[in-house]
Amino acid sequence: MIRISCTAAFGVRQASLLIFAFQDRHPGIGIDLSLTDERVDLVREGVDIALRLGPLTDSAMKLRALGRSRRLLVASPAYLAARGRPAAPRDLARHEGIRMSNIQGSDLLELRGPDGARHAVAFGGRIRVDHGLAAREALAAGRGIAPAHHWLVEDLLADGRLEAILPEYALPAVPLSMLIVPERAGIARVRLLVEFLAAGIAAIPGIERPER
């Protein structure tokens, strides 16, 4: 058995599929997958591997950078038909934003324009959520505009249920990392899963490979 802790939305949308494929290849290895956006104590919780989005501070763990998760602004066609399409970053101030309540600074969007100029825009709205899957549902239901990870909404973009907003303006990408408990890193089944996940995650649309 290998115990994995994973950022919740990423675990549901991406990591779980990789784990299924891993077990198809290695049917004798069990997986215990815990989905949480909390920063758990891996040793105390008996976790072998953690997949995390965002900056990390736990220097006691073995860290493997997996890349950076690209984000984009999106909204549904119905929302845009009712409220109009923003033509410039400043237009976002008059729109409904879907914010993440568990991410510090979600009331301010930082965008980089095609000329390299940076734009900081106040971002508010009537709904806040603490889970990426709830934000996905709110977007699909036409509740507003939100910055979303590409891997979270790629299917909704492909079938036209969501559209990219201000695509020429870039949002900062978010680090994606794997933490491994040092005492568990040398175990053969853990090493197998670490390499499998690293290769699979590198192929996910919107994941930029880490700089060497």
Mean pLDDT of 57-81: 91
Percent of the chain with pLDDT over 90: 84
Helices (runs of H) and strands (runs of E) counted in the chain = 7, 13
What is the DSSP annotation of 12-70?
IIIIHHHHHHHHHH-TT--EEEEE-SS---HHHHT-SEEEEES----TTSEEEEEEEE-
Mean pLDDT of 180-203: 95
Position 4 pLDDT exceeds 80: yes
Mean pLDDT of 134-150: 98
Please give the pLDDT value at position 56.
Answer: 79
How sure is the predictor about 157, in pLDDT bands with cuts at 50, 70 and 90? very high
Average pLDDT, the chain: 94
**Predicted TM-score (pTM) of this structure:** 0.91
Position 212 pLDDT exceeds 70: no
Position 59 pLDDT exceeds 80: no
